[in-house]
């Protein structure tokens, strides 16, 4: 467990418990890509509910920083450096987690990159790298964690997919790989359900995280521009995804497996922009967003 002076303040002071006690007391929760964005907040939230959190990132300093934030806030966390697209690093990471924290109860496959563009512009190496980090990582981490989950007849895997895995929204390699994550989620759910293992996916829409920084640098109002596509009138925050991840990993979801939970402010429910234009055409008074 690490603690580092100068760590960022925790967005979620822990532990807190409450009337129902700690939802994940003593559970070992592995969160990949937890050095930033959604993964960082998921790590904090599980720690606030009593979990021992393995903060995994390929940038060791980042993982150390988040583990230190959690420790400073009173939670339990340890940092592990691993590129989750590489089998030897994943196997070593899961072995270290098991020896330091115990058997993995919950695995959150969250790490991803999205470097490629459209089919005509993406080169083969970038395609392979995107698919490896987005999809192969889920296969490798799940495989490494499943052994002991099957042996103990229990475990929950939550894969952070994307609305891009359901609909064509750009970043073709990333999107194809996210579609693969959704299908792999279903395969694991069906194949290992009898072993007491649940596997579900979350498909977030736009979430305000550092992965957007390059776009924000080019277009500081990018989130405000994107809002028009969202029926609920805002883009998402990491906590929106963390809420869903905690639910799917918890006992409250004990009869839910193989699903894709869209956490997208209504984006894929229909076209908010088109609906507004049609209503405007019809002279409807309901057209104002």
State yes or no: residue 239 binds ligand NAP (CB under 6 A). Answer: no
Say whether residue 39 binds ligand NAP (CB under 6 A): yes
80 is a contact residue toward ligand NAP (CB under 6 A): no
- First vs last C-alpha separation in the chain: 48
Tokens of 173: 């390699």
CB atoms within 10 A of CB 117: 15
Determine the Cα–Cα distance for residues 33 and 220; give it in Å rounded to an integer: 25
Q: Which residues pair with 235 in a beta bridge?
A: none
Rounded to whole angstroms, the maximal C-alpha distance in the chain is: 66
Q: Binding of ligand NAP at residue 111 (CB under 6 A)?
A: yes
Closest among 110, 9, 99, 11 to 55, alpha carbons compared = 110
Residues 6+ apart with CB under 8 A from 261: 200, 201, 202, 203, 244, 248
The residue from 110, 171, 175, 200 that contacts ligand NAP (CB under 6 A) is 110
Closer residue to ligand NAP (CB): 39 or 75:
39
Q: State yes or no: is 178 an active-site residue.
A: yes
Does 33 sit near ligand NAP (CB under 6 A)?
yes
Q: Is 162 in the site for ligand NAP (CB under 6 A)?
A: yes
* Given 43, 101, 108, 112, the residue binding ligand NAP (CB under 6 A): 112
Q: Which of 174, 192, 228, 230 is catalytic?
A: 174
Nearest to 178 by CA among 120, 236, 133: 133
Tokens found for residue 174:
């990333």
Under the binding rule (CB under 6 A), the answer on residue 35 touching ligand NAP is: yes
Residue 265 as a binder of ligand NAP (CB under 6 A): the answer is no
Give me the 166-205 binding string for ligand NAP, x by CB under 6 A, dash otherwise.
--------------------------------------x-
Q: For residue 52, indicate whether it is catalytic.
A: no
Q: Is 38 in the site for ligand NAP (CB under 6 A)?
A: yes
Contact flag: residue 7 with ligand NAP (CB under 6 A): no
How far is it, in rounded angstroms, from Cα 179 to Cα 186? 11
Tokens, residue 261? 């939970």
Please list the active-site residues.
174, 178
**Residue ranges in contact with ligand NAP by CB under 6 A:** 32-33, 35-39, 57-59, 62, 83-85, 110-113, 133, 137, 160, 162, 204, 206-207, 209-211
């Amino acid at each position: 467990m690490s603690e580092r002076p100068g760590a960022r303040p925790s967005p979620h002071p822990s532990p807190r418990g409450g009337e129902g006690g700690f939802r994940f007391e003593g559970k070992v929760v592995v969160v990949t890509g937890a050095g930033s964005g959604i993964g960082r907040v998921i790590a904090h939230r599980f720690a606030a509910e009593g979990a021992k959190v393995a903060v995994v990132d390929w940038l060791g300093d980042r993982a150390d920083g988040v583990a230190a934030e959690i420790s400073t806030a009173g939670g339990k966390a340890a940092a592990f450096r691993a590129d989750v697209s590489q089998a030897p690093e994943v196997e070593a990471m899961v072995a270290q987690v098991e020896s330091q924290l115990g058997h993995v109860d919950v695995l959150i496959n969250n790490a991803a990159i999205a470097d490629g563009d459209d089919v005509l512009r993406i080169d083969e190496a970038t395609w392979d790298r995107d698919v490896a980090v987005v999809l192969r990582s889920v296969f490798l981490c799940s495989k490494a964690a499943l052994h002991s989950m099957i042996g103990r007849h229990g475990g929950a895997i939550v894969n952070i997919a994307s609305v891009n895995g359901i609909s064509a929204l750009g970043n073709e390699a990333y999107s194809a790989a996210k579609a693969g994550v959704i299908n792999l989620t279903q395969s694991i759910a069906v194949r290992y359900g009898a072993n007491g293992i649940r596997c579900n996916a979350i498909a977030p829409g736009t979430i305000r995280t550092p992965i957007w920084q390059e776009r924000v640098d080019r277009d500081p109002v990018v989130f405000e521009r994107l809002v028009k596509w969202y029926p609920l009138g805002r883009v998402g925050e990491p906590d929106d995804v963390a809420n869903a991840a905690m639910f799917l990993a918890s006992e409250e979801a004990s009869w839910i497996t193989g699903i894709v939970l869209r956490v997208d402010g209504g984006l894929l429910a229909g076209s908010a922009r088109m609906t507004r234009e049609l209503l405007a055409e019809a002279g409807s008074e309901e057209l104002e967003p």
